Amino acid sequence: MELERPVTGGPCWTELGTSDLESAERFYTELFGWRPETDPRQEAGGYTVAHLGDAAVAALAPLYQESQPVAWNVSFAVRDADAAMAAVRAAGGTVVLEPMDVFDLGRFAVVFDPAGAAFQLWQARSFPGAGLFNAPGALGWVELLTRAPERAKSFYAAVFGWSVSSGGDYPRWDIDGARFGGMITMDDKFPPEVPSHWLPYFAVEGVEDTARIVTEAGGTLLMEPTTVPEGPRIAVLRDPQGAVFGVRGAETQG
């Protein structure tokens, strides 16, 4: 990812909604070397921020609604969550959760794009988002898997001002010339019950070693370690509770 910090319109945070917070903390701490800190306030509902050193890099939280799936979620930075929500609606998206304040940290909303991929809008106040990108254990890329790629291009351009650069069969998203993610068209290889979704990739020093740790800890290897043409080595994994995430070699950003 060619971003070193959160910028308006770009990815700024990723958080896991899980059915077993304690087990997830143990799993990801072993995997990435995170230091989790749970917000003690009752209103925070067990929200736990993971750190690398002093930098906040991701969050883990219990499921807050019965309908909420076990999944990783990606947040994008906006100047005004209410205005961004209106842009989502105007571009054909759907609002799941209206903008709301999170203490003095910021303001967020949950929305769907026109193909049903969920993501979050984050208007920062005291908390800008991840304090570290691209280092081992930190967010290093985000990827949209969608059944409507052309609609996605126009939607995200309208909401965030993104551009798309072609890299063979793998379009890449950029904001102000900095690439931060890509897009995969979901074909018949994806079961029909799998919805369009955003997938975070975490940077790691060794993709094979990470895949081994995941499987030994009860997770699943969904895509074997592979080298992307003119790109990084990657793998796609599922944690023991069922949340899917990717890993990629930390030495490559684009």
As a whole number, the mean pLDDT across the chain is: 92
Q: Are residues 110 and 182 in the same domain?
A: no
Q: Are residues 79 and 106 in the same domain?
A: yes
Q: Are residues 201 and 229 in the same domain?
A: yes
Q: Is residue 133 part of a domain?
A: no
Cα→Cα distances 57→50, 54, 73, 244, Å: 6, 9, 13, 17
Q: Is the pLDDT of residue 168 over 80?
A: no
User: 210-228: per-residue pLDDT in tens?
Assistant: 999 999 999 999 999 998 8
Q: Is residue 80 part of a domain?
A: yes
Identify the domain boundary among 94, 124, 154: 124
Q: Are residues 156 and 106 in the same domain?
A: no
Q: Are residues 238 and 190 in the same domain?
A: yes
Q: Is residue 199 part of a domain?
A: yes
Number of domains making up the chain: 2
Comparing CA positions, the residue from 69, 84, 68, 71 lying closest to residue 15 is 71
- Give the predicted TM-score (pTM) of the model: 0.94
Q: Are residues 64 and 38 in the same domain?
A: yes
Q: Are residues 55 and 116 in the same domain?
A: yes
Q: Is the pLDDT of residue 229 over 80?
A: no
Q: Are residues 143 and 217 in the same domain?
A: yes
User: 131-147: per-residue pLDDT in tens?
Assistant: 999 999 999 999 999 99
Q: Are residues 191 and 103 in the same domain?
A: no
What's the rounded Cα separation, in Å, for the pair 192 and 211?
Answer: 26
When pLDDT is averaged across residues 181-187 and rounded to a whole number, the result is: 93
Q: Is residue 6 part of a domain?
A: no
CATH number reported for the structural domain that contains residue 109 in this entry: 3.10.180.10
Q: Is residue 218 part of a domain?
A: yes
Quote the pLDDT of residue 41: 83
Q: Is residue 228 part of a domain?
A: yes
Which of 18-32, 38-52, 97-111 comes out lowest in average pLDDT? 38-52
Q: Are residues 76 and 148 in the same domain?
A: no
Confidence of residue 39 (pLDDT cuts 50, 70, 90): confident
Q: Is the pLDDT of residue 83 over 80?
A: yes
Identify the domain boundary among 76, 99, 124: 124
Q: Is the pLDDT of residue 91 over 70?
A: yes
Q: Is the pLDDT of residue 252 over 70?
A: no
Residues constituting the chain: 254
Q: Are residues 70 and 160 in the same domain?
A: no
Q: Is residue 1 part of a domain?
A: no
Give the range of the structural domain holding residue 239, as residue numbers without chain letter.
139-249
Q: Are residues 219 and 120 in the same domain?
A: no
The 3-state DSSP class for residue 85 equals helix
Identify the domain boundary among 81, 96, 124: 124
Confidence of residue 16 (pLDDT cuts 50, 70, 90): very high
Q: Is the pLDDT of residue 100 over 70?
A: yes
Confidence of residue 19 (pLDDT cuts 50, 70, 90): very high
Q: Which residues 6+ apart lie within 8 Å of 109 measured at CB?
A: 81, 84, 85, 95, 97, 98, 99, 100, 120, 121
Which of 18-22, 62-66, 69-73, 127-131 comes out lowest in average pLDDT? 62-66
Q: Is the pLDDT of residue 253 over 60?
A: no
Q: Is residue 154 part of a domain?
A: yes
When pLDDT is averaged across residues 190-201 and rounded to a whole number, the result is: 92
Q: Is the pLDDT of residue 254 over 60?
A: no
